[in-house]
Amino acid sequence: MATYIILSKISPQAFSDPFEFKKIAERVALKIKTKCPGVVWKQSYSTMGRFDVVDIVEADDPKQMAQAAMIIRAYGHSTTETLTAIPWKEFLDTI
């Protein structure tokens, strides 16, 4: 499986009460689970930098990855940037 890193920036207009975000996150997770069964969530982090959320996921099908990113954008009211990640040792072995 390929590893991907999804960087998300949540729109300031996504919610008026911070507690609403938990419901949005649950809705996004359910949508991805049902629509993108080949995407496996490994870890998620809240960050305090340029991006609000960093997700580490795995998938064999890049089309499902693209669909998951679109779900985050549409239902999570976010912009996303998706990166392919190669484990460091594998990367060094290719050099």
Per-residue confidence (pLDDT) for residue 70, from 0 to 100: 97
Residue 30's CATH number: 3.30.70.1060
Q: Are 85 and 7 in contact (CB under 8 A)?
A: no
Give the CA distances from residue 11 to residues 51, 57, 79, 83, in Å, rounded to whole numbers and listed in that order.
11, 22, 7, 20
What count of residues does the chain have? 95
pLDDT bin (cut points 50, 70, 90) of residue 14 is: confident
Tens digit of each residue's pLDDT (9 = 90 or more) over 50-69: 999 999 999 999 999 999 99
pLDDT at 12 over 90: no
pTM of the model: 0.89
Domain count for the chain: 1
Q: Are 42 and 54 in contact (CB under 8 A)?
A: no
Question: How far is it, in rounded angstroms, from Cα 41 to Cα 65?
Answer: 11
User: Which residue range(s) make up the domain with 75?
Assistant: 2-94
CB neighbours of 49 closer than 8 A, spacing ≥ 6? Answer: none
Tens digit of each residue's pLDDT (9 = 90 or more) over 27-58: 999 999 999 999 999 999 999 999 999 999 99
Question: How far is it, in rounded angstroms, from Cα 71 to Cα 86?
Answer: 24
Strand, coil or helix: 34: helix
